[in-house]
Structure 1
Amino acid sequence: LSGHTSTVWSVAFAPDGRTLASAGNDKTVRLWDVTDPSTPHSLNQPLTGHTNQVHSVAFSPDGRTLASGCADRRVRLWDVTDRSAPHPLGKPLTGHTDPALAVAFSPDGRTLASAGANNDRTVRLWDVTDPSAPHPLGKPLTGHTDSVWSVAFTPD
């Protein structure tokens, strides 16, 4: 797949397996139709709004929301219900003091976790029950002594 103009940091498949999201050093997120793996193609113009390299992407379990974590210290949510016309949801999630390196949705899709780099070293939890009005859940999880590169939820 070509389209990003620099390093690709992360990819994620939508739950239906027909859409792939990619996060790039070029400050964009791209969506790809991979229904036919022999002829994958871009679904739209790149998703823009981040001001630095995008490190991570994750689809919600229902496939309607995409999260992206960026070196601009923000996490963004995107409505990808209509893959041909994705758009931002709400305001960017702020709180990380250094790059947001990773994002992950809980299995029920109600919580998003994000991980911070460098001096931030936190994991933040966000209530995304209403993805257009997300908000923090409690205080950041602390205790790491270096960047947090990945987050995940148990299946239950």
Structure 2
Amino acid sequence: MTTTPVVDARVIGLAHYASRAVLEGVLVPYGVSFRQNVALRLAALADGPSGRDALVDGIVGTLKVDASDAHGTVDELVSAGLLTEEEPSRIRITDAGRQLYAKVSAETGAVAARIYAGIPEEDRVVAGRVLTLITERANAELTTLKK
């Protein structure tokens, strides 16, 4: 008989990496990396053009990468025609970027529906609350470590 594990870093990590592998499998045919997809999502959800620094900060905050890596990701998306730099330091998603984001979102939405199927809403609410608290605490620890 197996027992259900208590949530801890390993359980969270296994869920994260399994989910990320699924997303990366969806992204491969489009030639987009996980990091690029995160940046594209941030740009797609922005209300109009974003400041480059704000977009970079969003990537850094989400993925916990160096700002130089985040700037490189933005540059890759600009080179690919998925983002455009309208004026110095102002980034906007292009029509091609928005179309790609919509396709990837639809595909990942269908996969997510299958993954979450049958999990009661109340369990998902509790898991969301716990994971949000863990994220907040881990981010606070990161801030402490960087001082």
TM range (shorter): under 0.3
TM-score (norm 1): 0.20
Structure with more strand by fraction = 1
Quick one: higher RCO (CA 8 Å, sep 6+), 1 or 2? Answer: 2
The TM-score normalised by the length of structure 2 is 0.20
